[in-house]
Amino acid sequence: MSRITIDPITRLEGHGKIDIFLNEEGDVANAYFQVPELRGFEQFCVGRLAEDMPVITNRICGVCPEAHHMAASKALDALFNADPPLAAKKVRELMYMAFFVTDHTTHFYALGGPDFIIGPDAPPAERNILGVIRKVGLDIGRQVIDCRSRNHHVIKTVGGRSIHPVAGLPGGWSRPITVAERDEIVGVAKQNIDFALFTLKIFDDIVLKNPTYLDMVTSDTYSHQTYYMGLVDGQNRTNFYDGQVRVVGPDGTELVKYHPRDYASHIAERVEPWTYLKYPYLKAVGWKGFVDGADSGVYAASPLSRLNVADNMATPLAQEQFERFYETLGSSRINGRYQPVHFRLATHWARLVELLYAAERMLELAEDPEITSPDLRTKPGAVTGVGIGCVEAPRGTLTHHYEADERGVLTRVNMIVGTTNNYAPMTMSIKKAAEQIITKGKVVEEGMLNRIEMAFRLYDPCLSCATHAAVGKMPLRVNIRDCSGEIIRTVSRG
Amino acid sequence: MRTIVVGLGNPILSDDSVGIKVAGLVKQRLAGSVGVDVIEAYAGGLRLMEAIAGYDRAIIVDAVKTGDHAPGTIRKLSPDSLSRTRNTLCTHDGDLPTALALGRDLGLKLPDSVEIIGIEVDEVEQFSEELTGEVAAALPAAVDEVLRRCGMIKP
């Protein structure tokens, strides 16, 4: 009997645990991914004023407060029956693009990139942002820090406060953009476009031109044929701030496209006895277990998913990269749209295509004459009783659902956060990677374990907000258990 | 000499808010004293490194949960302690020691001294704005510890 524990996984938010169960032959029988439950968020909110939710929900997590702030503001628009003026929507989206640029940049250079730039088998102490910078050059490190800094500045300017914006209101936005600020933001957006192109070039040079990495990206170990979800605009192009939720099947056929307020008609949650996590799945297809295929209601919501549901990107340079992405990975256009890419490690590339889109969209919005309009508020009307708001968070579709009485006092709160959508796909990805890497009880080289981690790191899971947890305090642990359930080995890192 | 006091944590997650509460009280007591800035922060790693860049000295106050000490125990730590406490880890980008090393590589002006005051906590999985009893009781001593380090209270 032996048992294996990876403790902790050093770059994952929150506290999670992976249990990998081996059978009598020492092969993987099951892999379970769990995170501890943080309690009482709904109770914390019920009885409070709904209008406080943009500043309450952005406290859930220190990593993507902007996404919660935006989803909450949109939920309040609906709850107070106050559709914001177009200018307010543009200002919100502008700030949101700055957030996407920082978040996707940080993920690539600090979290996903090290696996490729330093190598999947490198010691974990080197496989971090410091290792990346030491390998690719200090100048790139400065650019990463500068990119974060200038976009944090935009978020502070437009959002009214750094990190935790305060400008979102029912029906609009409280802080107009001055002409001088607009001019500065135009400059930031242009720098972001250059930086995104430069980052895609790094990905090209380091990953796509390396046959070993390209084989890894396109290997069966990291492939799953599932449904995909993401917001699209009226022309079925990727949109992070607004639109309809589109779901396509493994063959790329549209299953459904719905208004986010109807999410409960399309998404159900599966409860499993071994975890308190609830696994969202597509009602129309049904739950068939943690399995691939068009008959299984499992869906993913991630950068890769967002590209897979889109017919095109809405900006020109991102569109070029979008086409190159699908053509390089062997997908062809059928009925006007590319067939989905199922290689989960390609999510890292998809994230960079999105980085470029966010940068280009930011420039479009900054140069829009309406962006400096002071007309940013529609006066709230009577409380409708229900408000549902939805945006694409960096990690997947984020939905806030509030119910309130006629005074606007909350009576019910439900949220489906980006990471939650991906619980089932992550579980499947971990199991498949483990199956192909652990055989006959042989495991436990550092690189092998990291390859299992890579299977879920690509989703950039934010367990803290998925479980409504705090900022990155607690490690994730992987137990490998024999057929009697006994833990057979522990590997520590961090 | 410019000093920054950082209260780190999540303000709505029970004892995890202790660092932020200490920072708030320190700010009141300092009442705008020259040379000391007090901020709240919500993530470790790069964001924390970026927040303390430009200062000569940083004093970080945060919740620690090791289970090795009674809740409310005040512990004096340094970045070197973090591999054990894993406290100022922001796992979307890295831990504080890595972020500080990165900042130094990049030539950022980072504090010569980074001190961490860790307060052992109990409840960090329940949403609440309140601290549990022993942690709340440790607030005055933790505030005094920060003020002493800022030279506002005689040792």
CATH classification of the domain holding A163? 1.10.645.10
Q: Do B42 and A475 touch (CB under 8 A)?
A: no
The answer to whether residue A413 is domain-embedded is no
| Number of cross-chain residue pairs from A and B with Cβ atoms under 8 Å apart | 137
| Chain B contact present for A72, CB below 8 A | no
The answer to whether residue A196 is domain-embedded is yes
Whole-number pLDDT of residue A133: 85
Choose among A239, A190, A182: nearest CA to A366.
A182
CA-CA distance, A29 to A435, in Å (whole number)? 8
B58: domain range?
Answer: 3-149
Higher pLDDT, A321 or A166: A321
Report yes or no: A21 and A31 within 8 Å, Cβ to Cβ. yes
CA-CA distance, A213 to A115, in Å (whole number)? 10
Does residue A8 have a cis peptide bond before it, meaning omega lies within 30 degrees of 0? yes
A264 and A171 in a single domain? The answer is no
CA B86 to chain A, closest CA, distance in angstroms equals: 7
Higher pLDDT, A152 or B95: A152
For A311-321, b where at least 16 C-beta lie within 10 A, e where not — what string?
bbbbbebbbeb
Rounded to the nearest 5 degrees, what angle is found at the Cα of A455, between the Cα atoms of A452 and A458? Answer: 140
Choose among A48, A57, A76, A165: nearest CA to A468.
A57
CA A335 to chain B, closest CA, distance in angstroms equals: 39
The answer to whether residue B42 is domain-embedded is yes
Q: Which of residues A342, A363, A386 is at a domain's end?
A: A342
Report yes or no: A83 and A74 within 8 Å, Cβ to Cβ. no
Whole-number pLDDT of residue A116: 86
Q: What's the rounded mean pLDDT across residues A384-408? A: 96
**Residue-wise DSSP of B81-132:** GHHHH--S-BTTTB-HHHHHHHHHHTT----SEEEEEEEE-S--SB-BSSPP
pLDDT in tens, A292-321: 999 999 999 999 999 999 999 999 999 999
Whole-number pLDDT of residue B13: 85
Q: Do B90 and A472 touch (CB under 8 A)?
A: yes
Phi and psi torsions of A305, nearest 5°:
-60, -45
Higher pLDDT, A402 or A123: A402
**Residue-wise DSSP of A387-442:** EEEEEEETTEEEEEEEEE-TTSBEEEEEEE-HHHHTHHHHHHHHHHHHHHH-BTTB
CATH value at residue B19? 3.40.50.1450
Torsional sign, CA B128, B134, B140, B143: negative
CA-CA distance, A478 to A467, in Å (whole number)? 18
The answer to whether residue B155 is domain-embedded is no
Cross-chain CB nearest to B94 (options A11, A63, A138): A11
Report yes or no: A154 and A358 within 8 Å, Cβ to Cβ. no
Phi and psi torsions of A32, nearest 5°:
-120, 140
Nearest residue of chain B to residue A460 (CA atoms): B92
| Chain B contact present for A469, CB below 8 A | yes
**Residue B129, amino acid:** E
A229 and A338 in a single domain? The answer is yes
pLDDT in tens, B68-123: 789 999 988 877 766 543 334 445 566 778 888 889 988 999 999 999 898 988 88
| Chain B contact present for A492, CB below 8 A | no
Quick check: A368 pLDDT over 90? Answer: yes
The answer to whether residue B86 is domain-embedded is yes
A360 and A441 in a single domain? The answer is no
| Chain B contact present for A448, CB below 8 A | no
Chain A residues with CB inside 8 Å of B90's CB?
13, 62-63, 471-472
A336: domain range?
Answer: 224-342
**Residue A113, amino acid:** G
CA-CA distance, A323 to A329, in Å (whole number)? 10
The answer to whether residue B154 is domain-embedded is no
Chain B residues with CB inside 8 Å of A110's CB?
45-46, 92-94
Number of domains in chain B: 1
Whole-number pLDDT of residue B138: 97
The answer to whether residue A426 is domain-embedded is yes
Side by side, the strands of the sheet bearing B74-77 are B36-41, B3-8, B57-64, B113-120, B74-77
Nearest residue of chain A to residue B85 (CA atoms): A473
A479 and A449 in a single domain? The answer is yes
A196 and A295 in a single domain? The answer is no
Choose among A348, A66, A63: nearest CA to A199.
A348
A322 and A367 in a single domain? The answer is no
Report yes or no: A494 and A45 within 8 Å, Cβ to Cβ. no
CA B155 to chain A, closest CA, distance in angstroms equals: 32
Nearest residue of chain B to residue A457 (CA atoms): B92
> What six digits make up the tokens of A353?
């295509």
Angle between helices A179-203 and A86-106 (to 10 degrees): 40
A230 and A124 in a single domain? The answer is no
The answer to whether residue A405 is domain-embedded is no
Nearest residue of chain A to residue B49 (CA atoms): A145
The answer to whether residue B35 is domain-embedded is yes
A217 and A240 in a single domain? The answer is no
Of A238-252, A432-446, B136-150, the poorest mean pLDDT is in: A432-446
Chain A residues with CB inside 8 Å of B41's CB?
62
CA-CA distance, A11 to A450, in Å (whole number)? 12
**Residue A252, amino acid:** G
Phi and psi torsions of A356, nearest 5°:
-65, -45
CA-CA distance, A394 to A51, in Å (whole number)? 24
CA A230 to chain B, closest CA, distance in angstroms equals: 22
DSSP state of A166: -
Number of domains in chain A: 3
CA-CA distance, A24 to A43, in Å (whole number)? 45
A318 and A368 in a single domain? The answer is no
The answer to whether residue B30 is domain-embedded is yes
**Residue A487: CA count within 13 A, CB half-sphere:** 12
Chain A residues with CB inside 8 Å of B96's CB?
none
The answer to whether residue A72 is domain-embedded is no
Q: What's the rounded mean pLDDT across residues A134-140? A: 87
| Chain B contact present for A309, CB below 8 A | no
| Chain B contact present for A138, CB below 8 A | yes
CA-CA distance, B78 to A40, in Å (whole number)? 33
Higher pLDDT, A492 or B63: B63
Quick check: A10 pLDDT over 70? Answer: no
Cross-chain CB nearest to B127 (options A13, A41, A149): A41
